[in-house]
Amino acid sequence: MEKWLFSIDKIIPLLFGAVFIPLFEFFYGKGEVVIYTMTALAFFNVMDWISGTRSAKKDKTYASKYGIDGVFRSFFILMLPAGGHLMDMISGVHGVFFGILSFGVLYHLIQSMTANSIRAGWGKWVPEWLLVKLTDWVKEEIETKIARSSKRKRELEGE
């Protein structure tokens, strides 16, 4: 019986790694900071999805079309740091544009996630003093989300 260097069940992960890792490093750069930054962006993006879905279901404004648009929004958000890295390579500054875009997006994601969590009613698990500070921080974001939610609710009801 002849043994192959690579069995078929190992070729797919090998090909994935051979393609994905160089693409990731080309678009985002190398190093632990890049990996941790992109992991944080992906983590808070998922948390924003979860809290946004729950708050929309709570106020009965959830629509699959809006959820599908969220996938494209998330893809766009995760590509912004890649554009920053490419701008860093063009301009010869290392990490400046990547950092600006990454942490700008991270700030927005955490703010959006917090506003969605408060709308979903999860604020009762946060100490009151912290909830007051968080609410002040995301006040405009909450008002925007509530206005958009009310508009969608009216549209769903046919007004």
Yes or no: say if 52 and 58 are a contact pair by the CB < 8 Å rule: no
Residue 91 has what pLDDT?
95
For residue 12, what are its two tokens?
């797919």
Q: Reply yes or no on whether the pLDDT at 1 is more than 50.
A: no
Read off the pLDDT of each residue in 94-103 and give the average, rounded to a whole number: 93
Regarding pTM above 0.75, the answer is no
Read off the pLDDT of each residue in 35-39 and give the average, rounded to a whole number: 94
Per-chain mean pLDDT for the chain: 83
Q: What is the pLDDT of residues 106-123, one digit of tens each?
A: 998 988 888 888 888 887
Residue 76 has what pLDDT?
93
What is the H or E stretch that residue 123 is in? none
Q: What is the pLDDT of residues 79-97, one digit of tens each?
A: 999 999 999 999 999 899 9
In angstroms, the first-to-last Cα distance of the chain is: 72
